[in-house]
Amino acid sequence: MPATVLVDTVDCVRTITLNRPERLNALDPDLLDAFDTAFADLPGDVRAVVLRGAGRAFSSGHDLKWSAEEDAQEPKTETELAATTERLHEITRRIKACPVPVVSRVHGYAIGGGAEIALSADLVVAGSSATFRFTETAVGLVVTNGFTGVLPRTAGPAVAKEIILLGEPFAAERAQAWGLVNRVVPDDDLDAEVARIVATLRTKSPTALRLAKNLLDRGWEGSLEDVMRRETEASVEAAQSAEAREAAAAFTEGRRPSFSLS
């Protein structure tokens, strides 16, 4: 059987490809475990991670065929069902905890859990063919990966309820208008646009990117004073980094800084 997730690391960029094209990259336990491993063994010199789907879609979401076949053999216990949900939640945890920026390249369908993976990335680039949809209420399930919290904070409570309760498909342009997608480009330009973004990220301080990512992900936690306290702590760490010293030296010498992971 071919690998359900392909991992390729070139020039300090790790590309993780969901690889069940015959099932539109539907999510089953094998794929989720392989996805987790792809993040768990991230090399120390990686500067960015790119998520993508093989074939005609990013991901059609939870593999309902697999679930039906499993239930036909023996219904899952509450513990087993909870473990399945936690396996999905681990996706969000891995992406948010990743020390480097994660960029998703989305084409075709990004449905249910597939949409949650795509939209959990730090930066989302969608092709004009991309169609997002949260279908959980239509198939007796609920949204996971923290998106009952992410969507209201990102798109607003009214839009979040429309997305989840109605479960209607929405195009990449609408996703961008709602603040869920960063850029929308023709499908033929997807790879080039992702490459441009990754190239830009590689010019930045890895320490500063890691700290900024963490601050932004936690920006809604606590009071303004809590936010500023975290900013102070991060500022001290950034200022003491080798990259900050390199940036200062480069400025003095009239050249571009050259950053490495410190």
- Which CATH entry fits the domain spanning 5-201: 3.90.226.10, 3.40.50.720, 3.40.120.10, 3.30.200.20? 3.90.226.10
pLDDT confidence bin for 6, thresholds 50/70/90: very high
pLDDT of res. 72: 66
Q: Containing H/E element for 35?
A: helix 29-40
Residue 82 has pLDDT above 60, yes or no: yes
Residue 255 has pLDDT above 70, yes or no: yes
Residue 70 has pLDDT above 70, yes or no: no
Residue 178 has pLDDT above 60, yes or no: yes
Q: Which amino acid is at 89?
A: H
User: Catalytic pick from 136, 243, 246, 253?
Assistant: 136
Q: Cβ(141)–Cβ(90) under 8 Å? A: no
Residue 236 has pLDDT above 60, yes or no: yes
Q: What 3-state DSSP class applies to 185? A: strand
pLDDT of res. 71: 65
Residue 261 has pLDDT above 90, yes or no: no
Mean of pLDDT values over 203-227: 95
For 136-154, the pLDDT digits (tens) are: 999 999 999 999 999 999 9
Q: Containing H/E element for 177?
A: helix 172-177
Phi and psi at residue 152, in whole multiples of 5°?
-60, -35
pLDDT of res. 60: 96
Mean of pLDDT values over 130-138: 96
Quote the CA–CA distance of 4 and 49 in Å, as a whole number: 18
Q: What is the domain partition of the chain in residue ranges?
A: 5-201, 206-253
pLDDT of res. 81: 86
Q: Cβ(164)–Cβ(140) under 8 Å? A: no
In what side-by-side order are the strands of the sheet with 109-111? 109-111, 131-133, 170-171
In angstroms, what CA-CA distances link 200 with 151, 203, 247, 262?
A: 27, 5, 16, 19
**What integer best gives the mean pLDDT of the chain?**
94
Residue 98 has pLDDT above 70, yes or no: yes
% of the chain residues with pLDDT over 90 = 85
Q: For this structure, is 136 an active site residue?
A: yes
Mean of pLDDT values over 173-179: 98
pLDDT of res. 57: 98
Mean of pLDDT values over 23-47: 93
pLDDT of res. 64: 82
